[in-house]
Every structure is written in structure tokens, then in C-alpha cells.
Chains A and B, each alone.
Chain A
Amino acid sequence: MSRPSNRVLGTILIAAAAFGGTFLDAARQRIAHEPALQHTEALVERLRLSDIALFTEARYTRHLSQADLHSAFQDHPVALEHFPSGSMLPPPQTLLKRHEPLDREAAPSD
């Protein structure tokens, strides 16, 4: 092991083994987390939840999927969206793409 190449390749090999280890650990954790995920799924279904509680700071970030398209800007016209988590969310073009254009397809009511 005195050759420098042995030391270098040995280090790379150990790092590669650790890299492979992350995939094994991921598989182990996926199995371990499965019951909790199932419970969460069941809770969502039972309580009729629609969103994850990741950003609790504002209405439109707490219930992202329920917020209407302009709720982030509705405080007054041309209001700037001011909650930090808003900047973590995709920009309006994506917002528009996410919503089904049902309103454009529906026939006008009499």
C-alpha cells in the first residue's frame, strides 16, 4: 500500500463504496418509512386534506393547490408578493400551466 496510486485508488474506492451505500440505505429507509407513509395517506383521505403543511405563513402558501391564481397579489393592485416562501414556488407561467383550463372550455351559462 505504499504506492501513491494504491492510496489514491483506495480512497476513491472507499468513497465509491459510500456512494453505493447511500442507495442501500435509501432502500432500507424506504421500507422503514412505508407504514408511516401509509398512515399519512389514510389521514389525508379521512380528513379530506388537500395540501402539505410546509409553509404555514400565508393562506396561499399553506394551501397551495386551493389558492386562486392571483391570491399572492390580491392585497392591492400591482401588490408585490411578499412572503419569502413565495420565492421558492415556480413562477406564474408554471402556475397557469398547472391549472386545468376548465373555464375556457366550459360553455357560457344562459
Chain B
Amino acid sequence: MKTTVRDFLRERGLGGGGTPAMLAGRASFAYVFGTVLVFLLVVEAVSGIALAAFYAPSSTDAWGSVAYVQDQVTLGWLVRGVHFHAASAMVIVAGLHLVQTALYGAYKKPRELVWWLGILLMMLILAWAVTGYVLRWDQAGYWANKVEVGIAAATPVVGGVIRKLALGGNDYGNLTLTRFYALHVLILPAVVGALTAGHVMLARKLGPTPLGDRERTPRPRWPDQTLRNAIAIAMVLTVLVVYVVAVRGVELAAPADPSQAYDARPLWYFRWLFELRDLSGRAEKVVALVMPAIVAGALVALPLADRAPTREPRARVAYLGALAGLLAVIGGLTVASFAGDARDKQLAKRNTQAEQRAQLARKLARLNGVPASGAADVFLTAPMARARAVFATRCKSCHDAESMDRKGPMLGAGHFNRSWIRAFLKNPSGEPFWGRTKLAKSDAAMKSFAQMPAAELDGIVELIYSESGATDVDADKRKRGLDVFETACSDCHAREDGMPGTSAPGLSGVGSRAYYLSFISNPKSAFHMGKDKSEMPRFDKEISLADRDALAEYLVWLRGATPPDLAALDQ
């Protein structure tokens, strides 16, 4: 006698033994959506477990761990992409499931509970997506979450408490992530899993609802319907994977940074609310809170309103029409939101910049790792990042070539190399040099040496250049320069260590790191410009010594840099 595994299990109370699941009427592709949704839940669970094995829910580590999976783990980008886009697939299939159920009148007695559980599940799945989006702790997830929590915080009476509970305290931080993580990987899976089990069990027990009111012969589900389910699942998985590969997974923006503005957009399935909020002006928060409640309320009310026993679609045109209208409005608002963004050229530009920043952050994370101090500091691992950050905030407006209100000499690639010095000597009050300063228009302005014979000019250029500490100095030319300096320059300038000139700055060490540090610290010192000639403020109290020194190092680096070198620092 053959004892199969199935018999073994059945004797021990496991496995099917009762009556087989039956369908009223023929198997149909109309019944596949629920099974596909269960499959997508499994995909989310399995890919989520794999991602959880890499993820660190802390505000310093979260972005780094996601970037690591995305860029450094074999197939990490694929699994992460599938996890993200399967959620979108779930929303789409849930929508189809809902439409099919409504069209077939499957929400009617005795299936109201199945319908209501389904509505609840759909809302929970949307909430699940919200809790997942923030976990990556990039600009996109961080700012979208700020908006979402902000809307929830507008709830009358309990809004403040909701916010504090969601954030785990007063502001965004480690506890925000640990909470959303716990919600995302423990609480919501348990709740959705249990409700799904109830939904499926009830649906199985009651069986699918055929279209129309005609009586049909019951037929077993297996294998006719099961095969259709399997085909649908295979198709959905194929489309999902092909899509994920085609779009190269899912994006990862730059690390969350409260100081960096970002055009936050919600996930696409909330875009209709985003648009609606936009259209409602000052009532935006109320609309964002009330509209989802109205939509959910309408869906919950459907089986209570449409209580006639008939399931013929033609007899329910009013209800189906209302549902179609609702979906059309949601679809229209979604399209309007995306279309509005597509028309916005400024937005496109900002998005391109944000994308460049994201790519730079990911490249630096790949090459240098993320500093233990936090993912946003990954930018500081770039060469001269600290100096450039200080430069951007403290120096750029007066010294950058592209600045609208430049007041001083341009500082850019090639600053204080030989050709820069030569150009300066030929026209010190020229536009790139002192041209924008008051000094250039005063009697104290330095005169032009454009008429100086080429050999002498070469010498003086080499002499000045040698003060910077550059190692490629031509000794002969410099020697010639020493003589020229005595006749042409020493009336005003001095070359001795630490000595100011009689009427102009001392030049010992000019262009060296120590010189720049001293100049930035106090350009008005007697050695440099003196207190009347310079409009530049002293920075020794405003910028830390380390930052000033970093700036000095950066200025020295600029001497040997070309514009492409400079641009490469940002890529």
C-alpha cells in the first residue's frame, strides 16, 4: 500500500481533507486579483526580510545602509527595486480587485464583511507604504514624511499627540526611524497578515461571485482556477521584474538634510491628494484629512446603500457610475499633478541638481564609506569638501565669477598661477582683479606693468610665484626677478619675512597656505592691506581656525587646478 506524504500529513491533521473549494460556474481570470495580491504580499515579505538583513534604523546609518544595498551588494538594487515597485503593483492590483468586486456585486450580502475587510486592508497597505518611504532617510523619503506627519498633526484635538507618537518625541531622529521601522516590519505585517487571513478565509468559504444573477453549476477550483491564478501571478511577476530592470530599480536621493530644500512629492498613489490639497488653498490640511475619510466612507457605505438582492450590473448603474466617477476624479487629479510637474521647468532644473547631489553622495559612499557622524557628512569625504562648503557660504558672494554682487577679486581655478600673476601685473585694477573694489578707483590703486619688457615681467612673475611655495620654480628667471623687484616693486612692497611694504602689502609667502590663512584671518592687518584699503572683513572670529586653514589649503589647490578639475569635485 502506497503511503504518500499527503496521507501522512492528513492523518496528523494537516492538509486538505474536507470538501474541495468550489466555484459557482466556470473558472475565470476575473477571480485572480485576490490571489495575485496575496502573492505580492509574499514578495514584499521575502524581499523585505532580505533587505532587513542589511538595514540599520538609525538617523546616522539608515541612508548609508540603503546606499550599501543599492550600490554594493550583488542584486541589491534589484531586490530593493522589486520591494518598492511591488508596493505600487499592489496598489494597482488592489484597485482592479476592488473594481472587479464592485462590478460583480460581490460586496452584497452575505459578503459585506469580506468587502469591508478589503477596504481596511487597502488603507493599511497605503499606510504601510508611508512607513516604508521614510526608512531610507534620503531627501525624498524624509521630506515626504514631514508633509504626511504634518497633515496628520492637523487632526483636531489629537493631532499633536499623533505627531509626537509618530516621531517618537518632539523632532525627527533615531526614535522616528526605530518607530517607523517597527511599524513597517513588525506591526503592520502582523496586522495585515491577520486581516488578510480573515479576508481570504471568508472569501474562500463564500466562494467567488459570478457575474449576473443566473444560477450556475458548482465546479472545483483546482486545477482550472488555480492555473489561471498561477498564470496571472507569473504575468505580474514578469511585468514587475521587467519594469524594475528597465527603470534600474528605485532611486535613492541624497541623505536627509533638514537644511537642504527639496521638492518633496508623495508616492504616486497619493498624488491625487497632493493635487487636491494644492487646489484647495488654505483649506489644504482639512482637505487632505477629510477627503480620504470621505472616499473610504463611501466605499464602506456601498453594501449598506445598495441592498437590493440583484447583482446584475445593469440594475446597479447608479452605484457603479458613482464609483467610476470617483475613480475618474482620482485618476484625473493624479494626471493633473504629474502634468503640472512636467510643465515646471524650474522644478526640472532643481530635480536635476538634486539628482546630481544624490549621485555624488552615492559615489562618495561607495568610495569612502559613510562617516560615523552621519550620512549627510558623506559630502565631507570629498576632497576639500569642508573648505568648499565654507567657501560657498562665506566667500562666494564677493569672490565667485558668477556672483551677482561680487565685490572682490575672482577666486577660481588657476588662481595665483603664473598666467594669473602675469595678467594681474598687467592690469591690477582689471575686472577679474581689483576692478570691483573701492581700492581700484582710489589713489592707492596699484599701477599697471603692461609696459614692462617681457623678460623682466617673466622674472617678476617667477619671483612672486616662488613665494607661494610652488616646487616648479625656474631659478634663473627668479634671480632676474629679484633685480627687477628692487627697481620696480620695492618702493611700495616688501619681500622680507613678515614685513609690510611702505605703502602696499608685504609679499613674503604670498600665495602660500600660511599667507592665505593669515590674510583670511585679518586682511586689514598692517602686513596685508592695512585697515583702510580693504573692504574684506576679518574672519578670525567668525570662521574657526580649522575652517580658515582648510580654505587656505583650498586656495593653494586652486593654483594647480583647471576649471574641469574644479567641476569634477562636484561629480
A and B: real partners?
Answer: no
